[in-house]
Amino acid sequence: MSALPTRILLLGGTTEAQDLAAALKRAELPFVVSLAGRARAHYPGPTRIGGFGGVDGIAVTLRAERFSHLVDATHPFAAEISPAAARAAADVGARYLRLERPPWRAGPLDWFVDVASAGEAAAALPAGARAFLTLGSRNLAPFLARRDLRLVVRAITRPDLGGRDDVTVIEARGPFALDAERALWDAHRFDALVTKNAGGAASEAKLVAARERGIPVIMIARPAGQPPADAGTADALMAQLLAGR
Ligand code: NAP
């Protein structure tokens, strides 16, 4: 039976989760935000930090703290936590809802090359390409193994470059403005962009820059096995919660 939430565990780590926490606060619905690691972002309301220890650990938390709802607003590429959360909620009879921002889709002027993994993405780059990698600090190994590539890596924290000293690293956190993105692209004259299909507006400017220059975007698909999305925005998820779904 559906009912208004009495207590919500909100799995965060995204801007959508922050938006949702703010909306829950405004609606005076009781909630706790859960984050994987050191919390850099500010969330209104109580926060717990650190992994649960898998499905059973999540189930224990849901039961012990009497959560009626588990709202999963983790990143589309967080492949472990979401299936575990959905299973734990089913095990204890809590309502599971997934907030996942929609993926980017190619428009008529975009040149997307769809691949399933970082390995496939690296293999798709032509010999000697100047490639702009916006994959974060992980998943760089197959690109670093290609000595012929000229790589520019943008990540929040400085990645391990496996001993390569010819890679340019840009340490930066989005959102990225279009003007700055254009200037970066003009300076580096990239032949290809490699990105995960994270979706969202905060890092969309790179796709505009690629489109304007007719440059291919090697687009790594979201991981398989994620629970289906119930909503793509915090507002839409809120509407479901308030409707007792
Ligand atoms: P992951 O591979 O799905 O999760 C790894 C482990 O971290 C999980 O098994 C779980 O540990 C713990 N965990 C993840 N999210 C948690 C949360 N919200 N609360 C408590 N524990 C959590 O995830 P990831 O890719 O490492 O991402 C970690 C966090 O960063 C996620 O919350 C995600 O929303 C955020 N994030 C990820 C990306 C990305 O590209 N992957 C980008 C931006 C933000 P236990 O098994 O011990 O429970």
Residue 78 CA to ligand 1 center (angstroms) comes to 5
Task: Return the bridge partners of 120, or none.
Answer: none
Average pLDDT taken over every residue of the chain: 95
pLDDT at 158 over 90: yes
pLDDT at 220 over 80: yes
> Tokens standing for 204?
């969309």
Residue 35 CA to ligand 1 center (angstroms) comes to 7
> Tokens standing for 107?
């428009």
pTM of the model: 0.94
Residue 16 phi, psi (nearest 5)? -65, -40
According to the model, what pLDDT value does residue 39 have?
61
**Total Cβ atoms within 10 A of residue 50:** 10
Residue 175 CA to ligand 1 center (angstroms) comes to 20
Residue 52 CA to ligand 1 center (angstroms) comes to 10
Residue closest to 176 by CA, chosen among 138, 223, 139, 208: 208
Question: What's the rounded Cα separation, in Å, for the pair 163 and 165?
Answer: 6
Residue 202 phi, psi (nearest 5)? -60, -30
Question: What's the rounded Cα separation, in Å, for the pair 62 and 57?
Answer: 9
Protein residue closest via CA to atom 32 of ligand 1: 13
According to the model, what pLDDT value does residue 56 have?
98
Residue 184 CA to ligand 1 center (angstroms) comes to 30
Average pLDDT of the segment spanning 90-102: 98
According to the model, what pLDDT value does residue 162 have?
92
Which region holds residue 102: left if phi is over 0, alpha if psi is between -120 and 50, else beta? Answer: beta
Q: Which atom of ligand 1 is nearest to the CA of 12?
A: 18
Do 150 and 129 form a contact (C-beta atoms < 8 A)? yes
pLDDT at 227 over 60: yes
Identify which of 20, 58, 67, 75 to mutate to test ligand 1's pocket (most ligand atoms within 8 A of the CB): 75
Q: Which atom of ligand 1 is nearest to the CA of 73?
A: 34
According to the model, what pLDDT value does residue 134 have?
97
Question: What's the rounded Cα separation, in Å, for the pair 205 and 103?
Answer: 15
Residue 71 CA to ligand 1 center (angstroms) comes to 14
Percent of the chain's residues with pLDDT above 70: 98
pLDDT at 1 over 60: no
Average pLDDT of the segment spanning 85-104: 98
Mean pLDDT is lowest, of 35-44, 64-73, 148-157, 165-174, for 35-44
According to the model, what pLDDT value does residue 41 have?
72
Protein residue closest via CA to atom 12 of ligand 1: 51
According to the model, what pLDDT value does residue 57 have?
98
Average pLDDT of the segment spanning 77-88: 97
